[in-house]
Amino acid sequence: MKALVLEEKMKLSLRDFPIEREEVMGPRDVRIKLHTVGICGSDVHYYTHGGAGIFQVKAPMILGHEASGIVVETGAEVTSLKVGDRVCMEPGIPDPNSRATRLGLYNVDPAVRFWATPPIHGVLRPTVVHPENFTFKLPDNVSFAEAAMVEPLAVGVHAATKAQVKPGDIALVMGAGPIGLVTALSALAAGCARVFISDVDDTKLELAAKLGPITPINVARQDLGNEILAATEGWGVEIVFECSGSPRAAEVVFDPLCPAGRVVFIGMQMHDINYDVGKAMVREARVEHVFRYAHVFPRCVSMMSSGAINVKPLITRTFEFEDSVRAFEIAASAPKGEVKMQIALPQ
C-alpha cells in the first residue's frame, strides 16, 4: 500500500507501507477507499518540527486526517452504510468505556486514537478501516472536496457551540487561516450578526470579506482594539475567537472584548502564553478552550448540504497523490493567499 510517510523531521516519502495487514475488519467497521485528503496545519507542523507539544513523531508515520472516500467493504453488523456510499470520517476513535466518553466528552478522552497523531497513522493512502459510528454518509450535493472540509469545519462549529453564540452577537476571529475562516462561517451560521477577522495576509482577508458580513482588519497596519471599539461605539465584541496560535494575539484578547464577553482559544499555542487577568476580571470575561470537537460532524454535513455554510471558496489548491511530497513542501512555505490545500487520491 503506497502511502505518504513522514520518516522524520523534514523528510517525507511516498512509498509502500505495510499498514493494511494491521487493519483487521471488525463487525461494526467499514473499509473506505480514500478520495480526498486535506493538508492540515498539524500535518505540516509534524513535517517541519517533528512533533507538536506532547505529540512527538518517534517512528515513520502516515500523515493526513481530513478525509472523504467511498465505502468498499462493510462488517457483518453494519446497518447504516453500504458498499458504494460516499462518506466523510471523523478521525478520532475514543475508548467507548472511558469516563470521558461516557460523559459525552469523547474528544478529551486521553485514550482517543486520532489519525496522524503519533503513534497513530493517518490516511494519505489508498484505504482505511474505520468504525461505522464515526463514518458519515454524504448527501448527493456535497462533493468529496467539501466533505474533506468537514473535519476542520467541525472545529469551528464546536467553538461556536462553546461560545454559546446568541442571535445578533458580534464576534472577532483572530487569524484568517483555514480554522479562522471556518470559525467565522460557523459564528455567522450560529447567529452572529457580524464578524470581524484579523490577520496580516491581505489575500486571505479579501477572501474572508467575500464570505458574508465579515469585516477584515490587517493588524500589520491597523490597531485591532481601536478598530473594534470604533466600530462598536466603544462597547466591544461579545466573542473573541483566538485562532492564530500567536502569543502576541493571546496577550490582547481582552482589549476588544465587551463586558461579560466570551473568549474562546482555538489556535494551538506551542509555548506558554500570558494574558492580562486583570482585564479579564473587570469584564467578568468567560474563557473557553477547545480541543478538536465532539458531536458535530452530522451538523456540519447538514449545513453544507443546506447551503448554510459554503466551504468551497476556502479550497484554494488540489494536488494529485503522486505530488504529495511537493504539496507538503509548498504548504510548509506558507504561501500568501493559500487557505486549504487538498490531495486527490487515484480512483
Q: Mind listing the pLDDT tens digit for each residue in 267-326?
A: 988 778 888 899 999 999 999 999 999 999 999 999 999 999 999 999 999 999 999 999
Distances (CA, A) of 233 to 219, 229, 253: 20, 6, 18
DSSP 1-32: -EEEEEEETTEEEEEE-TTGGG-PPPTTEEEE
Average pLDDT, the chain: 96
Q: Which domains does the chain have, with CATH numbers?
A: 2-149+311-344 (3.90.180.10), 153-289 (3.40.50.720)
pLDDT for position 269: 81
Q: Mind listing the pLDDT tens digit for each residue in 195-234?
A: 999 999 999 999 999 999 999 999 999 999 999 999 999 9
pLDDT for position 6: 97
Distances (CA, A) of 217 to 159, 175, 248, 249, 275: 21, 10, 16, 13, 21
Q: Rounded to an integer, what distance in angstroms lies between the CA atom of residue 217 and that of residue 205? A: 7
pLDDT for position 212: 97
Q: Binning pLDDT at 50, 70 and 90, where does residue 100 land?
A: very high
Q: Binning pLDDT at 50, 70 and 90, where does residue 2 land?
A: very high
pLDDT above 90: residue 53: no
**Contact yes or no for 76/136 (Cβ under 8 A):** no
Q: Rounded to an integer, what distance in angstroms lies between the CA atom of residue 59 and that of residue 5? A: 10
Q: Mind listing the pLDDT tens digit for each residue in 3-19?
A: 999 999 999 999 999 88
Strand 194-199 relative to strand 214-218, pairing: parallel
Q: Binning pLDDT at 50, 70 and 90, where does residue 21 land?
A: low
Give the mean pLDDT of 157-183: 98
pLDDT for position 304: 98
pLDDT for position 333: 95
**Contact yes or no for 84/24 (Cβ under 8 A):** no
- Per-residue b/e over 215-254, b at no fewer than 16 CB within 10 Å? bbbbbeeeebeebbbebbeeebbbbbbbbbbbeebbebbb
* CB within 8 Å of 21: residues ≥ 6 apart: none
pLDDT for position 52: 81
pLDDT for position 270: 75
pLDDT for position 274: 83
Phi, psi of 111 (to 5 degrees): -95, 5
pLDDT for position 18: 86
Q: Binning pLDDT at 50, 70 and 90, where does residue 22 land?
A: low
Q: Mind listing the pLDDT tens digit for each residue in 317-343?
A: 999 999 999 999 999 998 988 999 999
pLDDT for position 275: 84
